[in-house]
Amino acid sequence: MIKRDNFLLTACAALCIALGPFAAPVKAADAPPKYEVVANWPKALPQYWVLGQVGGVCIDSKDHVFVLNRRDIEDNNELDSGVQAPPVLEFDPEGTLVNSWNNHLDILPNLFFHGCTFDKDDNMWLVSVGDGVLQKWSHDGKLLLQIGKKGIVDSSDGTAKGKPLNASQTQFFRPAGIAIDPTNGDVYLADGEAPRANYRVVVLNKDGKFLRQWELKKKETDPADWQPVLHCIAMDKDGNVYVCDRQGQRFQIFDKKGNFKRYVDIPFTPRTPYPATDQFKNAKVGSWGASVYITFSTDPAQKYLLNIHEAAEQVLFLDRSTMQVVSSFGRPGHQAGAMVHAHFSPMDSKGNVYVGEVSTGRRIQKFKPVP
């Protein structure tokens, strides 16, 4: 038996050498994704710049990361020895600042940015929930197209105090996110970031012409006063449109024409665990949201859907075929790797994830996959 076993071991070893790395089963590809924070990314900003809330993160074709800075720091003590950073910052994959837009404050929408994305020509589309416009910019910062008039929203009186109309083909009310159809350049806009705003998906062609719109679906179990908060929008490689329903703790899936396909509920988990005296204990359930941003892994099959669970301060990985959560990373806190009001998490071509934080988070972090 000993000779036979030695023979089998020798034969197996020879076969493994002959076949190389393909001889052994590859298990890593089936393992749930794991991530760790990249320390000191991005590198220090120049000229004592201070970053405010990150109102959008998007990645161009060269894996350069664009950050929308809300420039909302009002505490003079915090700016005692610093100045507000420009509204748009561009970083290379190593975290070096390679460009910034310094002179567009009079052209950009109200600086409560809420999302951006790049089209196939590396032009950036952006929106702000503080305004009613959609803008298209060249990669180096030239305004190419604007739909809507600054300072006016789609309401009964044109102001944020008016009744939402959900009707205008050229004006919006708290637009929150953008998705671009790679097949034809059509623009899908999530129009309605708050309960007192619009609540529709608007579709425009690449030149800004209105094509169609639709509203989110209500469940029979939803409260009578339920109104969707369209916090994000994304499109997968199969042409399915995903819309974050922030107050519903879920996202909804449609086809390109607005035909409803399904709900995907995200279990609502507060910032756990809360002590009895915690200041957030009596916060309204769902006020932060379990689905506030969606993107997809950049492998050819888009195996995973990434969903930000802001209430738990985590990035969730869902298997796109089953919509089951398979892994996650993140926790509440200001330390590296922790998050405070995570809002955006695009992935670059290498699988790195960039998380932008609003409210008192006010930073951008890079997370890399762990083999």
Q: Would you state the pLDDT for residue 77? A: 73
pLDDT of residue 353: 98
- Which pair of structure tokens corresponds to residue 36? 């760790």
> For the residues 36-50, what does the mean pLDDT come to?
95
Residue 124 in contact with residue 104, Cβ under 8 Å? Answer: no
Average pLDDT of 77-95?
Answer: 91
| 300-354 pLDDT, tens digit each | 999 999 999 998 899 999 999 999 999 999 999 999 999 999 999 999 999 999 9
Q: Mean of the pLDDT values across residues 139-153?
A: 97
Higher pLDDT pick, 125 / 104: 125
Does the structure show a pLDDT above 50 at 130?
yes
Three-state DSSP state, 18: helix
Tokens describing residue 7:
């023979």
Lowest mean pLDDT among 7-16, 144-153, 221-230, 354-363: 7-16
Confidence of residue 29 (pLDDT cuts 50, 70, 90): low
- Write down the pLDDT at residue 273: 40
Q: Using 50, 70 and 90 to split pLDDT, how confident is the model at 79?
A: confident
Q: Is 360 left (phi over 0), alpha (psi -120 to 50) or beta?
A: alpha
Percent of the chain with pLDDT strictly greater than 90: 76
Cβ(192)–Cβ(229) under 8 Å?
yes
Give yes or no for a contact between 201 and 241, defined as CB atoms under 8 angstroms apart: yes
Distance between CA atoms of 298 and 145, rounded to whole angstroms? Answer: 28
pLDDT > 60? residue 9: no
Mapped onto helix, strand or coil, the DSSP state of residue 19 is helix
- What was the pLDDT predicted at 111? 87
Residue 331 main-chain phi, psi, to 5 deg: -165, 165
C-alpha distances out from residue 317 to 282, 294, 340, Å: 29, 10, 19
Do 75 and 53 touch, CB atoms closer than 8 A? no
At 127 the three-state DSSP class reads: strand
The pLDDT of residue 18 is 36
Mean pLDDT of 60-69: 98
Answer yes or no: is pLDDT of 197 > 80: yes
Average pLDDT of the residues in 200-222: 96
For residue 167, the tally of other CB atoms under 10 A from its CB is 12
> Mean pLDDT over residues 75-98, rounded?
90
Q: What is the DSSP letter of 123?
A: P
Contact by Cβ (8 Å): 217, 260 = yes
Q: How much is the average pLDDT of 64-92?
A: 90
**What domains lie within the chain, and their CATH numbers?**
2-369 (2.120.10.30)
Confidence (pLDDT) at 269: 61
Range scoring the smallest mean pLDDT among 38-52, 75-89, 191-205:
75-89
> Mean pLDDT, to the nearest integer, of 2-22?
38
Least confident segment among 27-31, 199-203, 248-252: 27-31
Task: State how far the Cα of 228 lies from the Cα of 250, in Å rounded to an integer.
Answer: 10
pLDDT, residue 35, reads 98
At 37, the amino acid letter reads: V
pLDDT in tens, 240-297: 999 999 888 999 999 999 999 999 999 876 544 433 334 334 334 446 889 999 999 9
Supply φ then ψ for residue 13, to 5 degrees. -65, -40
